[in-house]
Amino acid sequence: MTPMSSVDAIRAPLVNLLVRLVFGVRAAVLERPAARAVLRVLGRPLIGLMHRLTRSAAPPEEPTPGMLGEPVLRLPLDYAPGRLSEPPRIAVLLHAFHVELLPEMADHLGRIPFPADLFVSTDDEGKRQAIIAAFAGWRSGAVEVRVVPNRGRNIAPQLVAFRDVYDTHALLLLVHTKVSSHTDELAGWREFLLGNLLGSEAMVRGVVETFVQLPRLGVLAPRTYPGVRRHLIWGDNYQACRSLAERLGFALYPDSPLDFPAGFMFWARPAALKPLLDLDLDVAAFEPEAGQKDGTLAHAVERLVFHACELGGFRWARAGNDVDIRPPEALYRAWGPRLLGRAITDCGRTLAAPGRPPYPTRAPGAPPAPEADAKAAFRALCRTELEAFLASGERLALPTSETPEVSILLVLFNQAELTYQCLRSLRFALDVPCELIVVDNSSSDRTGELLDRIDGARIVRNTENLHFLRGVNQGAALARGASLLLLNNDTRVTPGSVGAAVARLRAEPDLGAVGGKIELLDGALQEAGSIIWNDGSCVGYGRGEDPWAAEFQFRRDVDYCSGAFLMVRRDLFERLGRFDDAFAPAYYEETDLCMRIREAGFRVAYEPQVHISHFEFGSSSSTEAALALQQEHQQLFAERHATALAASHRPPGHALEARLRGPYAGRVLIVEDQLPYPQLGAGYPRALDLLRAAREAGWFVTFYPLAFADLDYAEAYAVLPPDVELAAERGREGLKSFLEARAGYYDAAVVSRPHNMQAFRQALAAVPGFIPLERVIYDAEAIFALRDAQRDRLGLKGDAAVGIEAEVALAEGVATVFAVNELEAANFRQAGCRDVRLLGHALRPAPTPEPFAARRDLLFVGALDEDDSPNVDSLVFFVREVMPRLDALIGPDYLLRVAGRSGSAQVRALASERVRLLGRVDDLAPLYGASRLFVAPTRYAGGIPMKVHDTAAVGLPAVTTRLLARQLGWSDGVELLAADDPQAFAEACARLYADEGLWAAVREAALTRVAIDCDPEAFRRTVAQTLAEVTPAAAARPPSAR
């Protein structure tokens, strides 16, 4: 062990103290906006001192974050929701069978602090009168009581008897007078559910706030009652649920994941329950109540609530109090509106939609069953289902086409029970024109009977077993589709998979074959694309891992994909001579095919939207026999492809390096706060442009969201290029372990914003082998301390001069600094940074066509979540100080439209008939076209105001403060009008609002300046050139090593 010097001995405890203090403050600030004042006064000076002291000191070990089990949003929320100018119209659907509980129900419902209409169902007139009397004092809205037959428990009355209510309300609360007297285990269940749904007025405010902030949230259910958790299984409800699922349009299997709002009490948007409503069930469809505990239609509906929500295009989540949280529950807290999003990201759970399934429903701590036992149990369940189908006299009709785009080839030899489940999945998975060609290799089990009951398949019945390879070649000769889908009969295909693979082949002419995510029976990955080592052995990338982990969600070119699901161009398959008969009867035939596809100049790709479940070795007589055959054919494969294997394949053991095929210019890690959704503003549109520029320059990009680590992958890849890797679900706590796992992997790193640079430098000090600092690019985005100094001058905070010095020092030793304007670039140059480059925004002028006379209103754009943010300060300043003066000049016949998240309580207090808070707006074009001028009364800010660039690019003139004009380098009266005090700002707005000639001149000047300052080609050149100069060694590596 190296002895510690006397200087180090003194420095070490001080470093430890500073690290704990700084990152303790930092952790608080990330989720508590009100605490940021502490960081402004203390944080940056401490960061500066720590930065100097820790240049050679390792930071303390940080825990690696684990995945959430069953996420529960804590209620009440950990921030005070602002006032709602227009609360959603609420309908309470109460089923009151046990009228003796009405006082308890009235007490809980009285905690709803918003207008709410009350709709009560019961089963006789006497109870109806009791209900009317119990709620005679209801003052929150209308009260209506209906008598309905005692069928379908509370579910039929709430879904059917009050169907008309769903169309007239924005939010529903479903509750009932639940009594579970059949077991002591469930005593307290009703009280538990009501306490988590209606425990206090603050909890209800939190519920409504969550729905307001999350438009994609469909159902918010209470926590699962501990006594019922072990009953969250399909059990005797499986058949009823399976039938109902098929009516809803999806296949349910014996091993399908299950979660549901047990007890059928929850909050919901009506649209989230529309798939159930569209079944047009009537009360008579439900069984009369006779004390049934399972197996009825009502039990099936209850278990498919979350499924229906997902089918309706929404997500579901759980929320409740923090009393006695126990595994698998994992409580998370929302300190601000943005953190509410965790409820519906892939940190949450899904059932019918793509996403991570719920936590296993076995008892916490119980070990999973051995693989052999699990497979045997699953096979037995499948065999029972097959026998029931064959005994029923029903037929299985597949939606195939006479003009197919895809020919699906299914080769069979026995395993009828697995084949049946595969065919059931295809019933709901054929979303493009397909034909199904089934080649039965003389099966001796009930396969023949099953095939006799299939409609929509072309069936070939062989008199001998030709095995898989020759069966595929035989079926391919009959195919009519442009693409062939090679599919194993022990798979189940997820809806959307066939269409996703076809879309890739349509869009990419040089793509020869595509495969996808293959999940094993236990829910772990079999592969996400596969790797061929230089000795001919193969491995499925990610085997045994979580299939919903971030590293398996992006597109990659790969060595090969398994023939369990492999879609290939039919003309290419024929040109290559189909499967090589040398690999008969099976194994390595698809590996050989993919090698030959790549040798022919085509690519093989992994598509994460393709998702299948695979029994694995289901078509083999034994696992041992299959493995022996694989070993024999590996040797043959290695001999056939020896030259290619030696030239472009790695030795076994480097899966990270071998998981994707190039060529790439290099590999770059980009670190930011969160996904750069353009609608967030705050520099994120520019961050997205930077990422895209790196990718367009030929770099493989990994994006690491440091502060807000949870993502919805579908939403993320609607913005990002699909071949960008997201290092999500790790956050700041997982950065060190990520650098350790990826040491030496990246050729460059780009780190944006000072707090992220500090966290990165701390982690890099602990993992010096990750990347040399000389290959790090610091994208300053803004000097935050300059912004704080401006705020100080307004009399709101203290001196920030030391903070500026410490913040600029973060760039010490890096290769290049990106600054957004000359003002901030000068600070870095004065600090001695050797390479500082300007990187502003990337925009093309695209003026909206509406003329001056057709426009009327004023527009403000910006995220408004945090009370102490520049955007909130500027909007409050404008509404309270400027608008009254502007009204005096031009009158009140205009609206101020505010686009952007509005979580701030101060901002919500501004809402009125004339100040319209629109929330998040994904498409601003209509607002730009309807507005006469844009206001940006920003009094303190760092960086460069992209929203002014944006509005100038669409030809909407702006009035800004002089601060923003200086940051832009634009002139008052030319590209914009600028003023600072309220009266001057109002006068500038009045001039631009009333003078059409001035309006047109400013519009044209700003359009011209945007074309110069925001040239996208210049932006991309800067990024590409900087990356190339920072990492010249990357270009020297062979393509296979990139």
In a domain, 1030, yes or no: no
Q: How confident is the model at residue 944 (pLDDT cuts 50, 70, 90)?
A: confident
Q: How confident is the model at residue 796 (pLDDT cuts 50, 70, 90)?
A: low
Q: Are strands 143-147 and 538-540 parallel, antiparallel or unpaired?
A: unpaired
Specify the number of domains making up the chain: 5
What does the alpha-carbon distance between residue 701 and residue 694 come to, in Å, rounded to a whole number? Answer: 7
- Identify the weakest region by mean pLDDT among 27-31, 433-437, 464-468, 704-708: 27-31
What is the identity of the amino acid at 289? E
In a domain, 473, yes or no: yes
Q: Are residues 221 and 321 in the same domain?
A: yes
245-259 pLDDT, tens per residue? 999 999 999 889 899
Q: Are residues 980 and 964 in the same domain?
A: yes
Q: ω into residue 358 within 30 of 0, thus cis?
A: no
Confidence (pLDDT) at 134: 94
What does the alpha-carbon distance between residue 756 and residue 778 come to, in Å, rounded to a whole number? Answer: 10
493 backbone dihedrals φ, ψ, rounded to 5°: -95, 130
What is the CATH number for 763? Answer: 3.40.50.11930
pTM to 2 decimals?
0.85
Question: How many angstroms from the chain centroid is the CA of residue 252?
Answer: 24
Confidence (pLDDT) at 270: 97
- Per DSSP, the three-state class of 84 is coil
What is the CATH number for 990? Answer: 3.40.50.2000
598 backbone dihedrals φ, ψ, rounded to 5°: -70, -35
Q: Are residues 856 and 833 in the same domain?
A: no
- Identify the weakest region by mean pLDDT among 86-95, 773-782, 990-999: 773-782
Rounded to an integer, the average pLDDT of 511-532 is 95
Q: Where are the alpha helices (DSSP H) in 220-265?
A: 238-248
In a domain, 847, yes or no: no
- Provide the mean pLDDT of the chain: 87
Among candidate residues 615, 640, 658, the one where a domain is terminated: 658
Q: Are residues 136 and 262 in the same domain?
A: yes
340-390 pLDDT, tens per residue? 877 776 556 788 777 778 754 443 344 555 667 888 889 999 999 999 999
In a domain, 647, yes or no: yes
Among candidate residues 658, 685, 703, the one where a domain is terminated: 658
677-703 pLDDT, tens per residue? 887 777 888 899 999 999 999 999 999
- Per DSSP, the three-state class of 80 is coil
Confidence (pLDDT) at 864: 85
CB-hemisphere CA count at 13 Å for 356?
Answer: 27
What is the identity of the amino acid at 750? V
Q: To the nearest whole percent, how much of the chain has pLDDT over 90?
A: 67
Is residue 457 pLDDT above 60, yes or no? yes
What is the CATH number for 120? Answer: 3.90.550
The pair of three-digit structure tokens given for residue 806, joined into one six-digit string: 């410490």
Q: To the nearest whole percent, how much of the chain has pLDDT over 70?
A: 88
- Per DSSP, the three-state class of 1037 is coil
Q: Are residues 612 and 575 in the same domain?
A: yes
What does the alpha-carbon distance between residue 581 and residue 378 come to, in Å, rounded to a whole number? Answer: 33
Q: Are residues 551 and 630 in the same domain?
A: yes
Q: Are residues 87 and 176 in the same domain?
A: yes
With CA atoms as reference, report the closest residue to 937 among 892, 994, 881. 881
Tokens 């066509």 found at: 849
Is residue 146 pLDDT above 90, yes or no? yes
In a domain, 351, yes or no: no
∠ at Cα 56 (52, 60), nearest 5°? 95
In a domain, 359, yes or no: no
Q: Is the dihedral of CA 325, 331, 334, 335 positive or negative?
A: positive
Domain that holds residue 52: 6-60
With CA atoms as reference, report the closest residue to 937 among 871, 1015, 839. 871
What is the identity of the amino acid at 386? L
In a domain, 466, yes or no: yes
- What is the maximal distance between C-alpha atoms in the chain? 93
What does the alpha-carbon distance between residue 184 and residue 702 come to, in Å, rounded to a whole number? Answer: 53
Q: How confident is the model at residue 23 (pLDDT cuts 50, 70, 90)?
A: very low
Contacts of 185 (CB under 8 A, 6+ apart): 227
Question: How many angstroms from the chain centroid is the CA of residue 97?
Answer: 41
What does the alpha-carbon distance between residue 441 and residue 463 come to, in Å, rounded to a whole number? Answer: 7
Confidence (pLDDT) at 122: 95
What does the alpha-carbon distance between residue 610 and residue 912 come to, in Å, rounded to a whole number? Answer: 48
What does the alpha-carbon distance between residue 848 and residue 1037 come to, in Å, rounded to a whole number? Answer: 47
Q: Which residues face 408 on adjacent strands?
A: 436, 485
Among candidate residues 658, 690, 718, the one where a domain is terminated: 658
Q: Are strands 511-520 and 565-569 parallel, antiparallel or unpaired?
A: antiparallel
With CA atoms as reference, report the closest residue to 221 among 287, 167, 189, 266. 266
Tokens 């004009």 found at: 965
In a domain, 556, yes or no: yes
Q: Are residues 462 and 533 in the same domain?
A: yes
What does the alpha-carbon distance between residue 705 and residue 734 come to, in Å, rounded to a whole number? Answer: 11
Q: Where are the alpha helices (DSSP H) in 706-772?
A: 713-717, 735-741, 754-766
Q: Are residues 878 and 940 in the same domain?
A: yes
261 backbone dihedrals φ, ψ, rounded to 5°: -75, 80
- Per DSSP, the three-state class of 776 is strand
What is the CATH number for 415? Answer: 3.90.550.10
279-322 pLDDT, tens per residue? 999 999 998 888 788 889 999 999 999 999 999 999 999 999 99
Higher pLDDT, 804 or 1016: 1016
Q: Are residues 746 and 644 in the same domain?
A: no
Q: Are residues 485 and 589 in the same domain?
A: yes
Q: Are residues 566 and 676 in the same domain?
A: no
For residue 556, is it left (φ>0), alpha (ψ between -120 and 50) or beta?
A: beta
Confidence (pLDDT) at 790: 63
Q: Is the dihedral of CA 308, 309, 313, 316 positive or negative?
A: negative
The pair of three-digit structure tokens given for residue 513, joined into one six-digit string: 């074959």
